[in-house]
């Protein structure tokens, strides 16, 4: 089995694959202070390490990248594929500095099933809009994610506090909790609807829209657009990249 690590700032989205499709997924909390030994103990609670024959790491947290590399080499006796400059991804990046483009953006684009123009909306710690076609990322938008927006209110205002991420039943709130939830959640929904329209104007062509990420299920039904969901898109991309790099 191949283990696929998508390391984000909040969680490590992890998948198991037989080499052709994703068989199982789970999440671990991202913790830059955890040692390889501690991560391995957590990993063992989800899977039997003896079945792992390959590892790929796509990460936006360098300290955790090094920790997972050490874990892989020490406990699994394998050399992992790491998405970094020089790794075969099959994805070209139109950017002023392609080396700055995050592994998560590349993996999402690599997970697309066809070269048709597609806007990928990845909802996580940051909300990312990735425009890709013909195996090329041509542009990206990055905005604060839902949890990050709530943290910003909690940390920078005297009377507002952190709340759970939920979709309130109406837009206009009558208490602090519902007011914050409406602003953050419906604000994100309206931003998505508006961004899709603005991007359509800019690119001047039709495109598919795919939403993914840990929070995509929460808001998908409230978006007034034709959007498909693929929660495993980034893992599919990691698997495709892994297969390009193994001998």
Residues forming the active site: 104
According to DSSP, the residues that pair with 145 across neighbouring strands are none
Q: Which residues contact 237 (CB under 8 A, 6 or more apart)?
A: 58, 106, 107, 108, 109, 110, 111, 112
**In terms of residues, how long is the chain?**
247
Q: How many DSSP H helices and E strands does the chain contain?
A: 8, 11
- Helical H runs in the chain? 36-44, 62-75, 103-110, 146-156, 176-181, 187-203, 216-219, 233-245
Strand 22-29 with 118-123, pairing: unpaired
Residues 6+ apart with CB under 8 A from 227: 121, 209, 210, 211, 220
- The span from the first CA to the last CA of the chain, in angstroms, equals 16
CB 14 within 8 Å of CB 46: yes
Question: Quick check: helix, strand or coil at residue 19?
Answer: coil
- SS3 label, residue 36: helix
């Amino acid at each position: 089995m191949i283990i696929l690590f998508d390391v984000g700032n909040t969680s490590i989205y992890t998948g198991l694959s037989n080499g052709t499709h994703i068989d199982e997924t789970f999440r671990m909390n991202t913790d830059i202070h955890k040692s390889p030994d501690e991560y391995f103990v957590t990993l063992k609670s989800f899977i039997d390490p003896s079945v792992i024959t390959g590892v790929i790491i796509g990460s936006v947290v360098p300290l955790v990248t090094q920790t997972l590399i050490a874990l892989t080499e020490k406990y699994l006796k394998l050399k992992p594929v790491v998405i970094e400059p020089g790794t075969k991804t099959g994805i070209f990046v139109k950017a002023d500095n392609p080396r700055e483009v995050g592994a998560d953006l590349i993996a999402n684009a690599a997970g697309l099933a066809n070269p048709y123009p597609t806007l990928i909306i990845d909802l996580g710690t940051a909300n990312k809009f990735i425009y890709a076609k013909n195996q090329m990322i041509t542009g990206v938008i990055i905005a604060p994610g839902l949890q990050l927006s709530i943290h910003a209110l909690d940390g920078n205002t005297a009377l507002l506090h952190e709340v759970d991420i939920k979709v309130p039943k109406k837009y206009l709130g009558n208490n602090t909790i519902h007011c914050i939830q409406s602003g953050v959640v419906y604000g994100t929904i309206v931003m998505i609807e508006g961004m899709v329209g603005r991007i359509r104007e800019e690119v001047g062509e039709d495109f598919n829209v795919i939403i993914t990420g840990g929070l995509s299920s929460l808001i998908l039904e409230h978006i007034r657009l034709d959007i498909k969901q693929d929660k495993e898109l980034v893992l599919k991309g990691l698997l495709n990249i892994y297969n390009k790099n193994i001998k």
